[in-house]
Structure 1
């Protein structure tokens, strides 16, 4: 009688990385709602791993601001308050202007190529209208710019702001008010901004880079106001904690 093949178990590092990626995606796409509890036993059972990689994944997500540790209760998905976004957009505006400007000043040729590749990936996602891919590729594009800025402390703050923006941005794509033309207009303007950022960074035009970075945050802010913050959208999404 033939022996059954052994079931391969992921190495601890590999298992933690897998759990991290799956939980992160579930949080960003709102499958796991803000404020919901994260049970380590349930997660370890779902992904067929021990509790150690689950804890490692939760620690990473906590560091990114997507998970909150609750004393005596374990962990839960970080809350979102869509009616308290002023601080978020103020921070995003300052950080995005700084990092885009510094990237234009300090980027290397290799980093420029990475930024250009990330911009192309976003356009591909936009053509496919894949919401998950859109938010992820937008994050990677701006993160590539931030890495080219070579400012460690600013990069840390900007990355946190971008991750928080991914959750809000995901909702804005879902709640695009059902009008195809308006969604396409937003995507077209986003792509135009991205292309200009790449151009100014390529030419090392710091003033132009800062100008388009400011305009890009305003575009995002306006979209949130017209989609996510509308009363009907808030009732449908039900993500306030």
Structure 2
């Protein structure tokens, strides 16, 4: 028998999580922001338990930091941690390429095409937050083609932490010399090439495009973070 009270509690925790997560990713809650439980309870009109569960989940995903005796704060974005994220992305996604290219099914390939279409639709709407989420989904569908829960979980954690960087990457303020239209076009073209490589089972082409995709993302963010 399903415990309706437990189910309702989980739903409330998910509601709290989604709200706080989106505020962190969109930088409405900047790095270092105190995530005060009481304030969040009032804002979301929820009890302490679902808010606390949401904060614990965000801490587990490295988007928030628990400070003993003080509660939670939005995790800082440092140059060191940012470089570590990109190193992890490169290792994971290139490793996944070796397996995914052989393991992928026709159904998974179609799911990859569909997730790529969702990225394009988000670009057309110029909805940055939806674009971040669609891009995350595209890369997780790609990871799913390897049919390895450990790799999928690892990439999901790194991608979740990197979604604030993705939001920056898709935002005008990061690089006044590169128009959003040009950057969006580059992202879509690279996704298209990843799909084509998966279709052809061309591992060399796939690894080259995945590597380039991450490099451009990394260079754009590092240039922003190190600008005077």
Give the TM-score normalised by structure 1.
0.84
> Which has the greater radius of gyration?
1
Query: In the alignment, which residue of structure 2 is the partner of 1:116?
Result: 113
Q: Name the CA shift for 1:67/1:135 in 2 (closer, same or farther; >3 Å).
A: same
Residue 191 of structure 2 is matched in structure 1 by 194
From 76, 80, 85, the counterpart of 1:79: 76
> Pick from 47, 50, 55: which aligns with 1:50?
47
Partner of 1:17: 14
Equivalent-residue separation in structure 1 for 2:227 and 2:62 (angstroms): 25
The CA distance in 2 between the partners of 1:169 and 1:82, in whole Å, is: 15
User: Which of 67, 87, 92 is residue 90 of structure 1 equivalent to?
Assistant: 87
Which residue of the partner structure matches residue 99 of structure 1? 96
CA distance in 2, matches of 1:118, 1:90: 24
RMSD (Å), alpha carbons? 1.9
Instruction: Please give the residue correspondences for 1:32-181 in structure 2 after superposition, counting only pairs within 5 Å.
Output: 32-82=29-79, 85-174=82-171, 175-178=173-176
Q: Which moved more, 1:141-150 or 1:81-90?
A: 81-90
Cα distance in structure 2, aligned partners of 1:31 and 1:158: 25
Q: Secondary structure at the match of 2:145?
A: helix
In structure 2, relative to structure 1, the CA distance for the partners of 1:35 and 1:229 (3 Å cut) is same
Q: Relative CO higher for 1 or 2, CA cutoff 8 Å, sep ≥ 6? A: 1
The alignment covers a number of residue pairs equal to 221
Q: Distance in 2 between matches of 1:69 and 1:26?
A: 17
For residues 80-101 of structure 1, give each alpha carbon's deviation from its aligned partner in whole angstroms, at most 9, with x where no partner exists: 1136533222221111111233
Q: Is the 8 A contact 2:105 2:145 kept in 1?
A: yes
Q: How far, CA to CA, are the matches of 1:225 and 1:86 in structure 2?
A: 8
Q: Where does residue 226 of structure 2 map in the other structure?
A: 229
Structure 1 match to 2:3 = none
Task: Tell me, in whole angstroms, the C-alpha distance in 2 between the residues paired with 1:44 and 1:216.
Answer: 40
Gaps of 5+ in 1: 1-9, 232-241
Task: Provide structure 2 residue ranges, at least 5 long, that are not aligned to the other structure.
Answer: 1-6
